[in-house]
Amino acid sequence: MKIALCVNHDKYLKDGMFSADRYVESHLREFYRLLKEAVEDKGDEIHTLDLYEDLAQPDVFLFFDYPLFNPLEYSAVKWKNYRRMRKVLQDTGRKILYIWESPLYNKGNFNPENYRQFDKVLCYSPLEIPNYEYFPYSIRRTDVSRCRVISRQEFDSRKLSCMITSNKLIQGNGYDLRYEIVDYFENRSDGFDLYGVNWIFEGISKAARVILRKKYAARPPKNYKGSCDSKQDTFEHYRFGFAIENLYGFPGYVSEKLFDVLTADCVPVYTGSNIMEGTIPKDIFVDIEAFASLKQLDDYLRAMSYEEYAGFLERKIEFLHSPQFADYFHQANVGRMMDVIYGKNEG
């Protein structure tokens, strides 16, 4: 069997999706590397679409998000790849859509008219279509042995909270909430530290953002501490870590932002309305939406007793050692993908 991986990003082409030498988010690269190994173990092959000269060669077309082309990012390579993907959708052949990005990044992923072009649609969010199959967010197998219930002495010595996020030009939903949190703590000297990239600008980049009146273009927030090498190591200096999805209030959309804090010795402060019942327990994080204002949330975090905090950690640790958490690992999702490609009854 020959499988064609259809991708939007030009750096993913020429099998870049599997390569450590290209820019591919590490958690994505590992998932597709494991999938490639599983396919090759069967004696079959999987390559990105551009490596198949004849579109009649592949037996299965696996789309990583719906075909998207941004004229502002035009290149001859991108345009050719996009046109070939569109042709695949118009022709006969077995096609699978694996939805990864939220509607903020790819509206085509959530246009019901598009689902008719696929034999199967895999998504973390429930879709009212006959060819839908649930597919949770995929993460690396994580060593959770470092997660423990910290001592009262360590609880007392830790700073209150932090957030690790980049400063992008995108606006709306979770991006706006992150700015609200940064703004709230801007003139408070304690209780919050900010880490991440793209908070300090120079030259044309700085001038453009100033002209566009983007927040913190001229200077970083007062609580900004720079970038960090390890999210886990950083979170473990704080009692609480803010985890704000790019899109919240969208059923099933849970990304690495929550898992980054969950797998550290820290309690997540999260936008949790997108958690579906039966997946991630809602009592292992502080739900931002349970509070009428950021001040109420801040007051609650500052007043939390050691006993209540230890309870969050105990419940979190129980989840991290459960089959429910392991269900998010790449290995489990590669198994799901192989079942979709080959059929669940094949050995």
Position with higher pLDDT, 189 vs 95? 95
Residue 3 has pLDDT above 90, yes or no: yes
Alpha-carbon dihedral of residues 269, 275, 195, 291, nearest 10 degrees?
-30
Residue range 157-172: average pLDDT? 88
Maximum average pLDDT range among 29-38, 53-62, 276-285: 53-62
In the chain the domains, ranked by start, together with CATH numbers, are: 2-139+329-342 (3.40.50), 152-325 (3.40.50.11660)
Lowest-pLDDT choice from 18-27, 200-209, 262-271:
18-27
Q: What is the pLDDT confidence band of residue 25, given thresholds at 50, 70 and 90?
A: low
Residue 156 burial (C-beta neighbours within 10 Å; 0-12, 13-18, 19+): exposed
Q: Which long-range contacts (CB under 8 A, 24 or more apart) does 225-233 make?
A: 225/162, 225/193, 225/194, 225/195, 226/195, 227/195, 227/196, 227/197, 228/164, 228/195, 228/196, 231/164, 231/260, 231/264, 232/146, 232/260, 232/263, 232/264
- CA-based torsion, 251, 28, 321, 303: positive or negative: negative
pLDDT in the model for residue 131: 96
Residue range 288-313: average pLDDT? 97
Average pLDDT, the chain: 91
Residue 347 has pLDDT above 50, yes or no: no
Q: How far apart are CA 88 and CA 233, in angstroms?
A: 45
Q: What is the 8-class DSSP label of residue 329?
A: B
Maximum average pLDDT range among 159-168, 205-214, 296-305: 296-305
pLDDT in the model for residue 46: 98
Percent of the chain with pLDDT over 70: 96
pLDDT digits (tens, 9 = 90+) for 175-194: 889 999 999 999 887 899 99
Residue 254 has pLDDT above 80, yes or no: yes
Residue range 65-87: average pLDDT? 92
Q: What is the pLDDT confidence band of residue 24, given thresholds at 50, 70 and 90?
A: low
């190994």: which residue's tokens? Answer: 37
Residue 265 has pLDDT above 60, yes or no: yes
